[in-house]
Structure 1
Amino acid sequence: MRILLIGGTWFLGKAIARTALSAGHHVTTFNRGRSAPDLAGVTAVHGDRTDIDDLNRLALHGPWDMAIDTSASEMAPRQVLSGARALEPVTDRYVYVSTVNAYRGWPNEPLTEASPVYDAPPDADRDYGADEGGPAHYGKQKAGCEGAASAEFGERLTILRPGVILGPGEYVGRLPWWLNRCARGGSILAPGAPDKLIQPIDVRDVAAFALAAPAGAFNLAGPRGRDRMVDFLTACLSATGSSGRLVFASDAALVAHRVKQWTELPLWRTNPGTWAVDTAKAQASGLTCRPLADTVADTWTWMQSDDAPVKHPRWEEHGIDPAREGQILAGL
């Protein structure tokens, strides 16, 4: 199969490229060639996806059986629309990687693929939804991007809506922070109830599904009811060989201390829909999820390798200051 991968050098894109190459597919990557090198074995085309001339030049390298778009997280809907329009004549199927943020109800409500997404025109610019700010702005942008891809590919479109993706190559810094914190040992501030259910998904499992998924929209997350916060943190201790001790603080205590949810203690959020994402449709279509402990262990192994993470501003957003952590622990 001939695959076009828009992106291909970071985290998910790199995992898809590696999975596709190992399966014997011919992979063309399209990116600016600035952030990280392309994998050996791909046909690399360098250009800017916001430049119509570069998009038209890319189209000359087709045709492709499938295009997978992993690099649109900062793109406005109208930019996704122009890219899809340029590629539609030379691409049989289009896979757009969106996010659960496109749903109006995330993170406050349980989600299925039937849950309503934000309204946004497919030709919206970056300012659309900015008056609402924060999650609503981002959610409207992603929903608009979905609409842009749909406008060009219709029934030949696959939309993937992952929640939290972890694993080797992560540039956001959630799991790496927890691994580094556990490796330091001592008393470790652990968030919420130990048996709180969570649903992170391994990047390699998302990659495998992206290559095999049929048309339609799919939520991607870990199996509901399988993994608990204590299991995740215990796996971090085990992977790092740490003798650290987990000290769980209740949601109420952390809120009282004004701990920033989602960042100071990564993966901790009190919103009831955060980890209530139904993935039955994806599982019925072939999604399989490896054990979370394997994701944790493999990420620690990667962190000790020469394959250093891509520098990204989000890495610095995550983690609580040690002095602040100590103060909270002292009051428990």
Structure 2
Amino acid sequence: MRLLVLGGTHFLGRAVVSAALDRSWDVTIFRRGTSGDDPADVHSVRGDYTNPHDVARLAEHGPWDAVIDPLAFVPRETLSVARALKDHVQRYVVVSTVSAYEGWPVEPLIESSTVLDCPSDAGPDYGYDGDPGPSTYGFGKAGCERAVAGTFGEDRTTILRPGVILGPHEYVGRLPWWLRRLEGGGRVLAPGNPARTIQPVDVRDVADFALRCAEGISGVFNVTAPGIETFGDFLGACAAVAAPTGTELIWAPDEFLVSNGVRQWTELPLWRTYAGTWDVDSSRARAAGLTTRPLAKTVRDTWEWVVGEGPELSNERAAELGITAEREAALLAEYESRHHW
């Protein structure tokens, strides 16, 4: 199997390359080469996804059986890449997101749910940011889906719509933030209902499913965990590997946090009150071979990475994460005073 991975050294791309090499596939990566080293045993082509001349030069290194594209964010750029690779790749697997749905995070979602309307040649600023949604990010991903499907056709296109992806080498930093907070111990502000079910998926499971699709599965697939584990399970797993003795989780209700202006999704990562956030049906992907490991395994492996290599969280999204110690203490004091603790 000859595989092209666009990127290939960053989080999901890295996991895809590792899993493909484990299968003894012939792997080519296309990257700028500005950070990190090339993985061993791959063919590396230098170039910029946004530069048509670089992409045209990449095509000369083909053909490939499939390409996996985690870099699709701007429709007109993805359209240019798809057109350049059309005659050199049999199948295009594009990594989209549940944010491409018009109803996320408010409504339960299946693959036939309405997708945001975005032209295949749209630029980076197309759409708008709503609260709770949609977002320019979601519009862009929807346009990238359209760009690939319109170029390769439905029979040669696979669209993956993951929800939250966690695991080693996570660059956003949601799970690393919680691990470091639990490592700090003390009284920890825990958000909402501990019985709330959640659906984060391990990056390695997304990678494995992407490779399965690359072998010949077309269509659109939501890629999430089944939603049988809870936020309590999640923070419990974080505490089990990172927290010192005496650490206590204080679960504050949604209403208290919302009334105090706590920013959902960022100030307390992964906490969001909207009903559709963790109600994404991935049964179609499971029927096609998606398997997901227990959340505790993802947490444990991520903790080993955090204390071993340490995450590099210098991106804009990571900078938005986390509540300050002072604000957390003030909220805990207010909440506990209301309950006379």
- Paired residues in the alignment total 329
**Deviation by residue 1:67-90 (Cα, 9 ceiling, x = unmatched):** 0001123xx211100100000100
Runs (5+) with no aligned partner, structure 2: 336-341
1:106 paired with 2:110, answer no
- Matched-pair identity in %: 54
Match of 2:230 in 1: 228
Match of 1:152 in 2: 151
One-letter amino acid of the structure 1 residue matched with residue 244 of structure 2: S
Match of 1:85 in 2: 83
One-letter amino acid of the structure 2 residue matched with residue 113 of structure 1: E
Match of 2:66 in 1: 66
1:6 paired with 2:6, answer yes
Cα 1:241/1:269, change in 2 over 3 Å: closer
**Deviation by residue 1:93-152 (Cα, 9 ceiling, x = unmatched):** 000000001000000000000101011111112232148797332222111110000111
In structure 2, distance between residues paired with 1:325 and 1:131: 28
Match of 1:284 in 2: 287
**Deviation by residue 1:224-278 (Cα, 9 ceiling, x = unmatched):** 2x11111000000001143211000000000011000000100000111000000
Which range is displaced more, 302-311 or 189-198? 302-311
Cα 1:131/1:277, change in 2 over 3 Å: closer
Which range is displaced more, 199-208 or 47-56? 47-56
In structure 2, distance between residues paired with 1:142 and 1:281: 20
Alignment TM-score, normalising by the size of structure 2: 0.94
Once the two structures are TM-superposed, the CA of residue 158 in structure 1 deviates from its matched residue by 0.3
**Deviation by residue 1:21-74 (Cα, 9 ceiling, x = unmatched):** 11100110001111322211111111011111101100011000000001123x
Conservation of the 8 A alpha-carbon contact between 1:32 and 1:48? yes
In structure 1, distance between residues paired with 2:35 and 2:163: 24
In the TM superposition, 1:182-331 aligns within 5 A as: 182-213=182-213, 214-224=217-227, 226-243=228-245, 244-306=247-309, 308-309=311-312, 311-331=314-334
Match of 2:137 in 1: 138
In structure 1, distance between residues paired with 2:205 and 2:161: 13
Conservation of the 8 A alpha-carbon contact between 1:10 and 1:310? no
Which range is displaced more, 1-10 or 36-45? 36-45
Runs (5+) with no aligned partner, structure 1: none
Conservation of the 8 A alpha-carbon contact between 2:188 and 2:248? yes
In structure 1, distance between residues paired with 2:261 and 2:130: 23
Cα 1:20/1:307, change in 2 over 3 Å: farther
In structure 2, distance between residues paired with 1:25 and 1:49: 23
One-letter amino acid of the structure 2 residue matched with residue 110 of structure 1: P
Cα 1:323/1:246, change in 2 over 3 Å: same
Cα 1:131/1:105, change in 2 over 3 Å: closer
One-letter amino acid of the structure 1 residue matched with residue 306 of structure 2: M
Match of 1:50 in 2: 50
Alignment TM-score, normalising by the size of structure 1: 0.96
In structure 1, distance between residues paired with 2:288 and 2:169: 26
Once the two structures are TM-superposed, the CA of residue 311 in structure 1 deviates from its matched residue by 3.4
In structure 1, distance between residues paired with 2:202 and 2:107: 23
The CA RMSD over aligned residues, in Å, is 1.4
One-letter amino acid of the structure 2 residue matched with residue 227 of structure 1: E
In structure 1, distance between residues paired with 2:136 and 2:309: 37
In structure 1, distance between residues paired with 2:193 and 2:71: 35
